[in-house]
């Protein structure tokens, strides 16, 4: 009969195998394809050099991927008979961008690796980190080994992606559903230190809000009239091409662009954290990196779940 010690050893070995097989690791591609990460970095750098906004767009793609059934590249699937594309969800339609850059990265990475071994979900996670770095922000070790979904859900995207009209309790609840706390909410909203928003997403705030700096509202109304010009862009903070703390400095001055931005500093439970990020850039950087890793760990497909897509826009059949 097997001894108690032997059985315990077997159990611990099984547990080790289970956790290594099904957990993400920053070293996942070290032996499989050591050139994968440097290739992604190079191509993100080139894309951001060509257009600074692309860094913001790529960061947002990873966020919109992770919040809908986990970080599984579901956002990249084009409409097809069995695919209700998330690209057509309210928050993504005529808004999410950067898909061509992801296609280009995928093609190049598959070429240097010799075959399709890097998932589209991992490419999104690495491209988000490299974008933040390219715009002067913090770096972090991206956890890797995600696999790609074979499904997408526009319905789930409409339910789970936060709207710019949400108040603080709704935002807290939206993040809580993803296992993210108030600190994650404030740190990750700091992603709005880069990029732009369309007039229709902030019109109500600049014409009707009372918690807004009047000079700022006036400035924004110039390019965002009461009706029409819905797609005119405004920067989410005064330095949209730099990953800095201007976003938080702005919130303290009631110069947040979206209702959901200003809600983070509006007399509620997140005021102190906003103030502290505005004063201590290192604190924001550290927390942003930590929360990005946490967001990147939302419900990944691992082991033999899902697949490694050949084309990020299509399921392999
Ligand atoms: C807290 C809830 C959030 C809401 C309600 C929200 C909403 C929005 C909206 C409405 C836009 C403008 C889209 C458009 O006009 O086309 C936007 C842009 C953006 N968001 Fe968020 N967002 C949130 C959180 C986040 C998070 C967590 C990140 C990343 C960590 C992020 C990154 C970005 C970036 C980088 C842009 C600019 C994209 C570009 O210029 O292409 N957002 N967001």
pLDDT of residue 15: 44
The predicted pLDDT at position 18 comes to 45
Average pLDDT, stretch 282-311? Answer: 98
Tokens of 25: 């690791």
Q: Is 17's pLDDT higher than 70?
A: no
Residue 104, pLDDT score: 98
pLDDT at 273 over 70: yes
Residue 12 reports pLDDT greater than 90: no
Q: Rounded mean pLDDT of 290-298?
A: 98
Mean pLDDT, residues 217-243? 98
The proportion of the chain whose per-residue pLDDT surpasses 70, expressed as a percent, equals 93
Compute CA distances 43 → 27, 39, 47, 134, whole Å.
20, 6, 6, 11
**Helix 53-66 × helix 120-134 angle, to 10°:** 140
Residue 3: per-residue pLDDT: 53
**How much distance in Å is there from the Cα of 60 to the middle of ligand 1?**
6
* Residue 9 pLDDT class (50, 70, 90 cuts): very low
**For tokens 């392999």, what's the residue?**
316
Q: What's the pLDDT tens digit per position in 45-89?
A: 999 999 999 999 999 999 999 999 999 999 999 999 999 999 999
The per-residue pLDDT for 4 is: 54
**What is the pLDDT, as a whole number, of residue 22?**
65
pLDDT value of position 20: 44
d(CA 250, CA 262): 9
Checking if the pLDDT of 27 tops 50, the result is yes
Pocket of ligand 1 contains residue 171 by CB under 6 Å: yes
Q: Is the model more confident about 20 or about 231?
A: 231
CA of 120 to the centre of ligand 1 (A): 21
What is the average per-residue pLDDT within 102-117? 98
pLDDT on residue 14: 45
- State the closest ligand 1 atom to the C-alpha of 196, by its place in the atom list counted from 1: 40
Domains of the chain by range and CATH? 26-161 (1.10.520.10), 168-294 (1.10.420.10)
Task: List Cβ<8 Å contacts ≥24 apart for 199-206.
Answer: 199/223, 199/224, 199/225, 199/229, 199/230, 199/231, 199/232, 199/233, 199/234, 200/230, 200/231, 201/164, 201/258, 202/164, 202/234, 202/257, 202/258, 202/259, 204/165, 204/259, 205/257, 205/258, 205/259, 205/262
Residues 118-172: tens digit of each pLDDT: 999 999 999 999 999 999 999 999 999 999 999 999 999 999 999 999 999 999 9
Residue nearest to atom 8 of ligand 1 (CA): 164
Looking at the annotation, which residues are catalytic?
A: 64
For a ligand 1 pocket test, name from 189, 262, 291 the mutation site with the most ligand atoms within 8 angstroms of its C-beta: 189
User: Which residue ranges make up the annotated binding site?
Assistant: 65, 68, 70, 72, 74, 86, 162, 192-193, 237, 244
The verdict on the CB of residue 207 being under 6 Å from ligand 1 is no
- On the question of pLDDT at 7 being above 60, the answer is no
Number of Cβ within 10 Å of residue 104's Cβ equals 13
147 forms beta bridges with: 301
203 Cβ inside 6 Å of ligand 1: no
What's the rounded mean pLDDT across residues 96-119? 98
What pLDDT, in 10s, does the model give residues 187-225? 999 999 999 999 999 999 999 999 999 999 999 999 999
Q: Is 164 in the pocket of ligand 1 (CB under 6 A)?
A: yes
Nearest CA to ligand 1 atom 11: 197
């Amino acid at each position: 009969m097997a001894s108690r010690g032997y059985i315990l050893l077997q159990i611990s070995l099984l547990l080790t195998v289970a956790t290594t097989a099904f957990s993400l690791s920053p070293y996942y591609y070290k032996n499989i394809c050591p050139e994968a990460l440097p290739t992604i970095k190079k191509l993100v750098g080139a894309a951001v050099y060509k257009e600074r906004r692309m860094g913001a767009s790529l960061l947002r793609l990873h966020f919109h991927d992770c919040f809908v059934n986990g970080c599984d590249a579901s956002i990249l699937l084009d409409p097809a008979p069995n695919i209700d594309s998330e690209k057509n969800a309210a928050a993504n339609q005529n808004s999410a961008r950067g898909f061509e850059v992801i296609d280009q990265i995928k093609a190049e990475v598959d070429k240097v690796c010799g075959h399709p071994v890097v998932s589209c979900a991992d490419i999104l996670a690495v491209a988000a980190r490299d974008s933040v770095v390219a715009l002067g922000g913090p770096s972090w070790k991206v956890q890797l080994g995600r696999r790609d979904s074979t499904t997408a859900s526009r319905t789930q995207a409409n339910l789970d992606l936060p709207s710019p009209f949400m108040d603080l309790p709704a935002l807290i609840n939206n993040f809580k559903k993803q296992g993210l706390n108030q600190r994650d909410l404030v740190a990750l909203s700091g992603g709005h230190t880069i990029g732009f928003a369309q007039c229709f997403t902030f019109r109500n705030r600049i014409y009707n809000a009372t918690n807004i700096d009047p000079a700022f509202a006036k400035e924004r109304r110039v390019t965002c009239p009461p009706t029409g010009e819905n797609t005119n862009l405004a920067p989410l903070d005064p330095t949209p091409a730099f990953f800095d703390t201007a976003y938080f400095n702005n919130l303290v001055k009631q110069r947040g662009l979206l209702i959901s931005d200003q809600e983070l500093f509006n007399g509620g439970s997140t005021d102190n954290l906003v103030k502290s990020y505005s004063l201590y850039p290192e604190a924001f950087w550290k927390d942003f990196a930590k929360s990005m890793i946490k967001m990147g760990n939302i419900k990944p497909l691992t082991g033999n779940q899902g697949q490694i897509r050949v084309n990020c826009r299509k399921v392999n059949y």
